Chain A
C-alpha cells in the first residue's frame, strides 16, 4: 500500500496507528489497577482540625515544666511537703469537637506521668475517686462501701478544653484554648493555672 496516501504500509502504517494504544497501555493498566487496588486507605490520607498527638506532647511537656517552675507551687511544697494530688480527665467544652474518654484521660495522665518522673519528690499521686471505686467493684467480691483507708487527695490537677470551631463549604477551622489548673481541694484556692493555645484549619478539596 501507499504510505503517502495514509493507508497501510505493512509494519510502518500499523505501528503508527498502534502508537496511541501502546502509549495508552500503561495508563490503562494504571486505571485498572486504580479500580481494584486502593491507592490509599480511608485513614491514611486525611487531615482534620482535631487535637492530635503532637498537641498532646507539646502541651503536656509545656505544662509539666511550668508547674514545677511556678513559685507559688514551690512555696506550697516548701511549707506542706509533697502535694497529695489527684488528676481529673479533661472537661470538654469544645464546640463541635468530641473528646472521648481515652484522649480525655491522656491529656492529664501524661502530665501526671511527666511530673512523677521528673519531680517525684514534689507530688504524691492518688487515684481519682470514680476510678478507685470502679476498680474496687471490679476486683473485690464484696462491696465494702466507702473506703476509710483511701488516701484523701488535697490538690487536684484539672483541665478544661474550649474551642471556637466553625465549618463552611470551603474549610473547617478551630481555635483551641486548653487550660490546666492545680487547685487546693480543701480551700478552693487556685494554686497554678496556665494555658496552651493552637489554631488549626483544614481546607476542603474536590471530594470533601
Chain B
C-alpha cells in the first residue's frame, strides 16, 4: 500500500512536471511565432513614441533656457498630431507662445486643448480598452484637475490681456469648474453639495473681469468670496485698488509639481513638497529705477506644489492600481489552482494546471504592464503673483526683482501704461530671461503692420 502510494505520488509529480514543460514549450513556440510580428510592431510604434518624447524633451530644454520662440517651433509639429498627447502638446505650445507674447498662436493652441478637455468620451473607440489592458499612456491626456484649471486660467489670461473680458470671464469660470469639489459626507451622487474651490487665482481674475465689464455686484461678490478663502490677500483683493489699477503685472516663478514614481513604476505622488522646495521668494517692483511700495500685494496667489499635494485634486494612478490589484489577484488565484492541480491526476489535473498557469501568466502580464502614466505639463510655474498697480500713463521701464535671490529678476523697457483701462504684462522669471526686453515683445511684432511710421523695433 505504502509503495503504491509513493509510486502514485511520484507519477503525479511526474505528470505535473510534464504538463508544465508542455505549457512552457507551447508558450515558447507561440512566442517564437508571434515575436517577429510583435517586435516589428513594437519597434515601429515604440520608435515613433520615443521620437516624439525626444522632440518634446528638446523643446522643453529650449523653454527652460527661455528660447520660447524655438520651443514653440519645436512643439508645433507635435501639437498638430491628434494622438494621445494632443492636449498636452497644445498646452505646452500655448505656454511657449504666451511667454513669447504671440497671443494669437497661444489662444489657438489653448483653445484646441480646451475643446478636448471640455469633451467627454474622447477615449472611446478602443482607447479605454487599450489604456486598461495595455498601457495607460494610450489614453488621451487631459491632465490632472489642477492642470485643466491652469489651461483654462491661461486661456482666460490671454483674453484678459486683449481686453476681451467676456471670454476671459468664461475661461476663469471654467477653471473653477475643473476644481469643483464635492462634500464627501453628502452621498446624493451627482447632486452632492458643491464645495467652492479655493483656486483664488481664478476667483481674483474673475472678479477683475466683472469689474471691467461693469458688473459691480458680481465683482464685489467675487472679491468678497476670494477674501474669505484667502484673508492674507486682503490688499490684493481690495475692490477699489483693482478698480484704479491701470497695469497688471503677472509674475510667474519657479517650477510646478512633478509626478514621482516608485521603483516598480507606481506613482508615489507629486513632488517636491513645498517644504522640500523652500519658501516662495517674494517679488519687488522697480519702475524707471524707483522701488515701489507694494503694500503687501506681493503675496503668492497659488502654490502649485502645495496644490498638487492635496489628494482631493488628484485623479492619478486609477488604472494602474486597478490593473495591479487584478494582476495580483490573478497570480494568487493561479498559484492556488496550480497547487490544487498538483494534488490531482487525469484530465482534471491538466485543466487545473492549465488554468492556474494561464492565470499566473495573465496576472504577471497585467501586473507588469501596470506602469503609471507620468505625462505632465512640466512648463507650469510654482506660483503666480498678480500685481495690480496704478502708474502714470506713458512708457515705463519695469523690473521685477527678488530681494531674497539676486539671480532672479527681469526687466522690460518701454511698457505702455494706459490712462484708461488696464494693460496686462506677463513676466516669466527664469534663467536666461532677465532681459532687458523691449516692448512691443518680439512675438507681437509679426502681427503688427510692417510699415508703421515712427515705430522702431530692436
Which A positions have Cβ atoms within 8 angstroms of B? 1, 4-8, 13-14, 17-18, 20-22, 25, 28-29, 31-50, 91-100, 137-138, 141, 165-172, 202-208
Contacts and interface: CB of A to CB of B under 8 A. Distances in A.
A103 to B, nearest CB: 10
A202 B119 contact: yes
Contact of B167 (A25, A39, A92, A171): A92
Contacts of B42: 32, 35-36
B354 A98 contact: no
Interface in B308-363: 345-347, 349-350, 354, 358
B15 A39 contact: no
Contacts of A5: 11, 15, 345-346
Nearest to A168: B190
Contacts of A49: 118
B180 A17 contact: no
B7 to A, nearest CB: 13
A22 B133 CA distance: 19
B135 interface: yes
Contacts of A208: 120-123, 142
A43 B38 contact: no
B86 A42 contact: yes
B449 interface: yes
A27 to B, nearest CB: 9
Contacts of A1: 18
A14 B30 CA distance: 12
Contacts of B44: 36
B120 A17 contact: no
Contact of A17 (B11, B23, B142, B167): B23
B434 interface: no
Contacts of B129: 34
Given A39-B125, A42-B83, A6 B133 contact: no
B30 A34 contact: no
A166 B26 CA distance: 56
B118 A50 contact: yes
Contacts of B166: 91-93, 99
Give 9 nearest A-B pairs by CB, closest first.
A36-B45, A46-B119, A39-B126, A40-B125, A42-B86, A6-B350, A41-B82, A46-B122, A34-B130
B177 interface: yes
Interface stretch (B70-78, B109-117, B289-297): B109-117
B429 interface: no
Interface stretch (B168-176, B221-229, B438-446): B168-176
Contact of A7 (B19, B171, B180): B19
Contacts of B131: 207
B107 interface: yes
B177 A96 contact: yes
Given A25-B34, A32-B38, A39-B130, A100 B111 contact: yes
Nearest to A34: B130
A33 B133 CA distance: 12
Given A21-B27, A28-B34, A95-B170, A35 B86 contact: no
Interface in B410-458: 449, 451
7 contacts: A5-B345, A21-B27, A36-B46, A41-B83, A43-B86, A45-B123, A205-B128
A36 B349 CA distance: 39
A136 to B, nearest CB: 12
A42 B84 contact: yes
A146 to B, nearest CB: 19
Contacts of A40: 123-127
A92 B165 CA distance: 10
Interface string B88-120: 000000000000000000010001001110111
B128 A100 contact: no
Contacts of A137: 449
A44 B82 contact: yes
A98 B86 contact: no
Given A98-B170, A141-B451, A14 B125 contact: no
A25 B33 CA distance: 10
A21 B27 CA distance: 7
B221 to A, nearest CB: 14
Given A25-B30, A42-B83, A98 B182 contact: no
B41 interface: yes
A100 B244 CA distance: 28
A77 B432 CA distance: 65
A97 B125 contact: no
A42 B122 contact: yes
Given A31-B133, A44-B82, A100 B194 contact: no
B186 to A, nearest CB: 12
B135 A39 contact: no
A45 B125 contact: yes
Contact of A169 (B19, B23, B46, B190): B190
Interface string B3-43: 00000000100010011001100110110001001100110
Given A44-B125, A98-B159, A207-B128, 7 more contacts: A32-B42, A38-B127, A41-B83, A46-B121, A95-B173, A168-B182, A169-B182
A50 B120 CA distance: 12
B134 interface: yes
Contacts of B159: 98
B173 A48 contact: no
